[in-house]
Amino acid sequence: MMATTDKKAKEGPRSKRRMILDAAIDNFGQVGFEHTKWATIAGQVGIGQTALYHYFESKSHCLLTIMSPELERSVERARKAAVDHDAPDQKLRAAIASAFDVTAREALQARILLSHQDLLVAPRPSEREEAERQRARELVRQIEQEWAAILRQGMDEGIFPERDEMVMVRLVLGLVNSVWRWYRPQGPRSLEEVSEIVADAVLRIVR
Amino acid sequence: MMATTDKKAKEGPRSKRRMILDAAIDNFGQVGFEHTKWATIAGQVGIGQTALYHYFESKSHCLLTIMSPELERSVERARKAAVDHDAPDQKLRAAIASAFDVTAREALQARILLSHQDLLVAPRPSEREEAERQRARELVRQIEQEWAAILRQGMDEGIFPERDEMVMVRLVLGLVNSVWRWYRPQGPRSLEEVSEIVADAVLRIVR
């Protein structure tokens, strides 16, 4: 009984928090961060602005909090691609395919992340924001390492020519992530088509 | 005489405007847009915040105004690369080399542009901001067209395989621009080295 009460007590604020994050993703992704008013999000979730500040101390804090789940997903997907396959070129193809195998909201989240990566560069003035920033930076580092390990394996096995794998990783991830800037669900290309074109481009770069 | 007076009268506010833009580029580029206080820029230029609003009605207006000269430079450089060379692969190499042949401040400007492209997506509430946004969008369109013309020429001449040139342009520009996210002047790679690596990668993608 205690457990149930605890769970309920926890789920209450958690699901409200989840609602805020979802509303923020929709607004930041569609209208842009700059353009989104904190009051709009409060209104959509059905709480007052004061209550909103209980969950996130600022719009930036909310934005930083949106980034980490997206980055965590990227780490996990790259890891899974590396485990599921043996050959480095197949690992790369799988990692790229999974990067584009996303829901509409995840696509928005990826675009928000791409558009606000500069938020991760400089230390944040508040403790909570800085904690989220550090978390996001560590995840970016992990993503780069996962992809670098695939490239390193390919170079060690002589399938990819020997090169600086960190520079190559940045070019490859730069190319993959740049899609979120221009891809739109209503555009002429499906995400599957884009994924194929990007995978071909990446394999041409690294081979 | 009249001309001289006119010029002087014009140069006065212009050079102050230039000082504001330079201070904004340095701050937005190094500390980040979110993190930069309007008061800091006013302080560095040596004017009050009220005077600052005479030039730019908001931080976003200033940010949008920073984008266009950088985009104009990109259009001109792509055009020059296309005119200076005959072969499409040489045009591409020249366009990439000129994209990385920049001053330290231009590099910051490129990073600011990359980090805030989402500002160009949705209409701005104010007339002056919206005018700057429209101008920047038109320049982005021109840049894409310049690069697309080079790719199209290569496809028509049978040097590059036939593909959707707009998708290819977006991948190529996505790759080229992504460098500004991670490149740092104090890093282990010079901009010349990075430029060479990117040019090789791009030619592998399009050929």
pLDDT digits (tens, 9 = 90+) for A123-175: 988 999 999 999 999 999 999 999 999 999 999 999 999 999 999 999 999 99
Cα distance from B8 to chain A (closest Cα, Å)? 37
What would the pLDDT profile of B87-132 be if each residue is shown by its tens digit?
999 999 999 999 999 999 999 999 999 988 888 988 988 999 999 9
Rounded to an integer, what distance in angstroms lies between the CA atom of residue B168 and that of residue B186? 31
Do B181 and A171 make contact, defined as CB atoms within 8 angstroms?
Answer: no
Note whether A88 and A153 are within 8 A (CB): yes
Q: The whole model's pTM is what?
A: 0.90
pLDDT digits (tens), chain A, 207 positions = 344 444 444 445 568 999 999 999 999 988 888 889 999 999 999 999 999 999 999 999 999 999 999 999 999 999 999 999 999 999 999 999 999 999 999 999 999 999 888 889 889 889 999 999 999 999 999 999 999 999 999 999 999 999 999 999 999 999 999 999 999 989 899 999 999 999 999 999 999
Provide CATH 1.10.357.10 ranges for chain A. 64-206
Asked if B170 has any chain A CB less than 8 Å from its own CB, the reply is yes
Rounded to an integer, what distance in angstroms lies between the CA atom of residue B69 and that of residue B74? 9
Chain A residues with CB-CB distance to B178 below 8 A: 170-171, 173-175, 177-178
ipTM of the complex: 0.88
How many interchain CB pairs under 8 A, A with B? 93
Asked if A121 has any chain B CB less than 8 Å from its own CB, the reply is yes
Measure CB to CB from residue A115 to each of B117, B167, B198 and give the nearest one.
B117
Cα B111–chain centre separation: 8
Which class in CATH covers the domain with range A1-55? mainly alpha
Which class in CATH covers the domain with range B60-206? mainly alpha
Do B121 and A32 make contact, defined as CB atoms within 8 angstroms?
Answer: yes
Q: Which residue out of A25, A129, A182, A207 would a mutagenesis test of the B interface target, given it has the greatest number of B Cβ atoms within 10 Å?
A: A182
Provide CATH 1.10.357.10 ranges for chain B. 60-206
Provide CATH 1.10.10.60 ranges for chain A. 1-55
B124 to chain A: nearest residue by CA? A35
Query: Which residue in B146, B126, B13 sits closest to B64, CA to CA?
Result: B126
Query: Which residues, other chains included, contact A91 with Cβ-Cβ below 8 Å and sequence gap of 6+?
Result: A81, A82, A84, A85, A150, A153
Note whether B199 and B92 are within 8 A (CB): yes
Do A175 and B170 make contact, defined as CB atoms within 8 angstroms?
Answer: no
The CATH fold of domain A64-206? Tetracycline Repressor; domain 2 (1.10.357)
Rounded to an integer, what distance in angstroms lies between the CA atom of residue A160 and that of residue A92? 12
Note whether A27 and A36 are within 8 A (CB): yes
